[in-house]
Amino acid sequence: MAGSEAVLRRVIEALELLLGTAKAAGTDSGPLQSTKHVDLLESLRFNISILEEKFAQDPQWDELQRLRTEVSKQAQCLASCSDVPWNFTCHALLLLLCLKQCMVLLATTYCPPQPNSKTAEAAPPLSPDTLSIAQEKTVQAALQFVVTLGICPYLLPGVGLPLRSRTEFSALVQEVASPRCISSATRRLYATCTVLMEVANHTSLSRLILTRHLGDLLVGLCQLGFCPARRKGEEEAKPLEEQVGLTEEERSSCREALQGLLDRVYQPLVVRELLLLQGGPKQGSGSSGRSSERGLAPAPAWLRRLCGQLLSERLIRPGGVQAVVRGILEGAGAGAAGGSSAEAAAADWRKCDAVARILSTCPQQSLSLEDYCQQVCPQVLQLFLIQDKLTARQFQQVATMTVLTVARQHPQQAEKHLLRPILEPLLRCSDDVTEVPLKELLAGTVLVKEEELSECVESVLKVYVVGNEPTAFLLDSLQPVLGTIFSLWCFTKQNVSFLRTPCQEILLWFLEKCERQIALSILEGLARLGGATHLLHPLCQFQAGSEGGAVVTIREAISDEDEALYQKVSSEQWQLEQLVELLSHCQSSGLAGDFFLCCLKELTRMAGQGASKMESAPLSSCNSPLDLEQCCSPGLEQQERQLQVLQLVGMMCERISDALFTDISQVVEFVATTLQRACASLTCSSGGSTVEAQTLSMAMGLVAAILGGAVQLKPADFASLKGLVPLLEDLSHVHPEPVIQELAADLRITICTHGAFSTETVSSAAQSTLGKSDAGVAVKPRALVRQGLTKRLPRETSNPKAALPQDHMESSLGTDPISNLPKGPLAGESVAEPGCGSQDLQELLLSVYDPDIPARAAALRSLSRLIEQRDSEALKIQEKLLKAFLENLEHEDSFVYLSAIQGVVLLSDAFPERVLPYLLAQYGSAHPGTQEAQTVETRMKVGEALMRITRALGDMAFSHRDNLIHTFLRGARDLDGTLRASSLSNLGELCQILHFQLGSVVHEVTSCLTAIAKTDGQVEVRRAAVHVVVLLLRGLSTRAVEVLQDALLELYHLLKFVVRCEQDEVTVLHAQLALEELDGIMRELLFPRQTLEKKIEVLP
């Protein structure tokens, strides 16, 4: 082993002698480069003679001489000759073979020592065949000379980078080492490439050769193995051996060596070198040691074809797409050498587009386009999944452009091999689309994993939204999974998930880019009103994933029909709410307004078909229950659909009415739809209901306001308004009310004359709609549409005056809104001003029983405002006002009962001693002095009023503390579980308002909480009880020991009991939080914080 090490050192010394100076030999510019070609030949000859003299005279070099002799016998092609440059190359190649032989012997005889456990952290010893940094520099310099003198001069014109385009020294070498004979040149090139491939078999030497000289070695092997027999300029072909000096066996060995070299080297580096050899775009020169690429000659046709074939082979092999992308883009800054250059390269979309065109073009050697897509498309999809931050952006951009390019050029292959695999996880769980037999799977089976679903959504976002190429083909391919994406988006709105934003962007992109009719059809499908949208399969459900995503599993069957129906209805309700929220993002494009009009038209259509369908199948013809069911099914389906449309319209009016319509044409279409529905209703029945009369009044008021100057009309607006003329004419003939007939006729005349003629009726209706009173107080014209659309749709009743008390029936206002426009109150405007008279106050009291919900709510808020301003007339009738407020608490509309609650609170602020006892009695089971039971909903509304009053009283609530606590404790024992939970919630909030100063009733509170938490049958009530305990401990903090005293031990036992025995996870969580609070309290009490203080006293 010691002898081999000595020989290795002698080889390095021999290379240093051959190269001239060891320190300068490793650089591109040394002392040899400054000489002319004559001096260069003399320098090479002189260095050879010095080396031969050293071998002849120094006995220490005898072993190296013997090794060189053995190597030269095996490599007979490296014999000495009179050509100085080639002779110099042969000496260098022989020394490199000797170096490789010595390193192999050292590695073979090396036996690594056993690791020392005492110094386990120490680095392991290096292998003896490892070269030092100085030795590597010497070997690199020798390889530079070998490539420059042994490969480059013998390449054909246009093959590889010419010597004159590299360095000044390379240009000088070209004049010295020009081949004089094609046959000898080919043999020398063959010898050089063969020896370098032999040396490259060693791992350490392979790294030095292939990292710097891969391009020159590749082009040499290409010329040797694939250069055609006939070249341009020759009129007749010569025998192959005479022409190139190689046998067919040698050419075959060169081709095998080339293929082996291509397979063993880092594939992106191979791609870059092949692109350079093919004459492609200029790349960085770090892989071949070249300092410049200017003057790159066009490659011969055979070389271009060969490089294209080799690149295609690299592409279709496993991992080939990523290798091609890396090979092209890494020179632009991607990869490990990223940073700022990587960011700049990511912005270069032209380069990414060029790569996408390469990937989307089928090579000639592929069997077919189908075969090429089967091999390449799966690799393209893998580019979406790269997580490396430096390269992910570029690779995903290339993948997106490739998918879009293939979709443009080959739609069928794109659908089969790219888009279908991307959308497959969503299609797997889609209703009527999935091919998986879901009924055969067990409940809880994971149908789509979290990682798979997340990758699918992100890939869809990148291809469709980021790619942003809304062609009909791409939109059609995305449409089948929109329902599943919408279901996933609704699920993510219930919890925290990173999939929420991508799903929303996908939905909004599709609704914005597709045609309006398709978008409306999709929205109808999402609202379960029909359409071609496929929602999530009924047997599937989403569950939260561990990484913030979602998992699709098989839903467990619910045996209880009521529970199944409740879950179905609640899920549909939630999805409708989210659909309205989604539409709120589409208001600027007008899609929300168009969908609203579409729903109104559907209501009109159903109003016209309802009566005829019910009359077409009389129940008297049914002879059996089955016939009865078949007879009633169409009507029930029609009613269910009508209820869904009404619910959707109500949600849209409530949430997004402020900017629902974006232009006059939509408002006109809304009015036209309303008029059509009114005409259809009048045709089917003898007269219109209150709802229809109010809606018709609103619609006609909108038209009057538009014509009265609320907006600036253009000629095109009058053209759209003329579509209302036939409807207004029909309405003026068929409506039974003379006032509406007159207004319809006047509006028709005003539209036909383009506003030149307008009657007093139109002006009065316009003023009332715009919010102008008799005193001339004006409201902004832009409130027109908002005021018309924010009216809540009233509930239909068989008797519109059923809600009025008996003593107010005769004096109530008429139900026709048109007849009362100049004097009746409108929703959203002030009904009475401060200091109003008794007559106005009486009108307000009548209005609080008006069946029109907006009018009733406006009257309640006006009365509340009078109380707040301490109006003397209003305070005189406090009992009537309290009765009116409490009666309106029973109303089911939130706009009404919340206004009533506000009035009760303000009245209690003025007369707390009178109102609070009355409310506390109302919170009980009956009216004061009667035995009439209160509904649970009304009692809960009274509880909300009590809590608002308590919050308003603040510290003054201590005078009513015992009554409030006892009332809520009695409510905690009510038969209804919802009221029990509400009472406990109010009790917890009351304790916070009282700053947990409960006084002597603290034992009653703790005993009640203990009994409920242990024995109550409903989980919501037990949760509320434990939550109150948490609030007590958290609010009292260290004062809990002093305030609760012996009750604290009882609470501790209660919490431990809940943790051990409770089945509900939420209740257990509350108990654990309470125990943590109690633990913190006791620790702070037993181990108080020690504060280090230094007390300084200043003496007088």
d(CA 936, CA 971): 11
HSE toward the beta carbon, residue 1086, CA cutoff 13 A? 6
pLDDT at 454: 92
SS3 string of 502-550? HHHHHHHHHHHHCCHHHHHHHHHHHCCCCCCCCCECCCEEEEECCCCCE
pLDDT at 503: 93
d(CA 225, CA 247): 10
Q: How far is CA 730 from the centre of its chain?
A: 51
Task: Give Cα separations from 657 to 185, 652, 825 (angstroms).
Answer: 86, 6, 21
pLDDT at 560: 79
**Model pTM score:** 0.61
d(CA 209, CA 198): 11
d(CA 485, CA 473): 19
d(CA 157, CA 219): 12
CB burial of residue 745 (10 Å; 0-12, 13-18, 19+): middle
- Tell me the chain's radius of gyration from C-alpha atoms: 45
Q: What residues have CB less than 8 Å from 184, skipping those under 6 apart? A: 245
| DSSP secondary structure code for residue 317 in this structure | S
d(CA 527, CA 575): 8
Q: What residues have CB less than 8 Å from 886, skipping those under 6 apart? A: 900, 904, 922, 942
Q: What residues have CB less than 8 Å from 782, skipping those under 6 apart? A: 710
First-to-last alpha carbon distance for the chain, in angstroms, is 93
Task: Give Cα separations from 513 to 422, 468, 522, 586, 843 (angstroms).
Answer: 20, 9, 13, 12, 53
Task: Give Cα separations from 493 to 486, 579, 678 (angstroms).
Answer: 11, 12, 38
Q: What residues have CB less than 8 Å from 135, skipping those under 6 apart? A: 12
d(CA 163, CA 172): 9
Amino acid sitting at position 374: Q
Task: Give Cα separations from 1079 to 988, 1036, 1041, 1052 (angstroms).
Answer: 21, 13, 12, 10
Nearest to 813 by CA among 776, 858, 791, 843: 843
Residue 448, classed as helix, strand or coil, is: strand
d(CA 657, CA 596): 10
| DSSP secondary structure code for residue 814 in this structure | P
Strand order in the sheet with 550-554: 446-448, 550-554, 540-544
Q: What residues have CB less than 8 Å from 74, skipping those under 6 apart? A: none
d(CA 201, CA 102): 13
| DSSP secondary structure code for residue 366 in this structure | S
DSSP sequence for 105-129: HHHHH--PPPPPGGGTTSPPPPPTT
d(CA 734, CA 730): 6
| DSSP secondary structure code for residue 282 in this structure | -
pLDDT at 177: 66
To 5 degrees, how large is the angle CA 998–CA 999–CA 1002? 60
pLDDT at 691: 58
pLDDT at 495: 84
Nearest to 766 by CA among 719, 694, 697, 690: 697
Q: Is there a contact between 818 and 695 (Cβ–Cβ < 8 Å)?
A: no
d(CA 567, CA 544): 18
d(CA 154, CA 183): 10
d(CA 905, CA 860): 12
Residue with tokens 């000495």: 80
Report the 10 Å Cβ neighbour count for 531.
Answer: 16
DSSP sequence for 898-958: HHHHHHHHHHHHH-HHHHHHHHHHHTTTB-TTS-PBPPHHHHHHHHHHHHHHHHHHGGGGG
Residues in a beta bridge with 542: 552
Q: Is there a contact between 969 and 1008 (Cβ–Cβ < 8 Å)?
A: yes
Mean pLDDT in consecutive groups of 10 residues from the start of the chain, 1100 residues: 75 85 39 58 84 84 85 77 83 87 82 65 72 88 87 83 72 66 77 89 87 87 81 45 67 89 88 78 40 55 85 84 82 46 56 83 80 87 83 85 90 90 88 68 86 92 91 90 91 89 92 89 85 79 89 85 83 87 82 82 68 48 53 63 81 74 76 76 58 71 75 74 80 78 81 76 70 35 34 34 35 33 33 49 75 78 79 74 78 79 78 76 58 68 80 74 77 80 80 72 78 81 81 72 70 81 81 80 75 74
Alpha-carbon torsion (708, 714, 720, 722), positive or negative: positive
Q: Is there a contact between 958 and 993 (Cβ–Cβ < 8 Å)?
A: no
Element (H, E) at 257: helix 248-264
Element (H, E) at 1066: helix 1065-1086
Element (H, E) at 446: strand 446-448
d(CA 816, CA 791): 16
Nearest to 991 by CA among 1041, 1044, 920: 1044
pLDDT at 799: 36
d(CA 324, CA 417): 20
pLDDT at 30: 44
Q: 758: which 2 tokens?
A: 């307008």
Q: How far is CA 846 from the centre of its chain?
A: 53
Q: 271: which 2 tokens?
A: 């791609």
d(CA 134, CA 753): 100
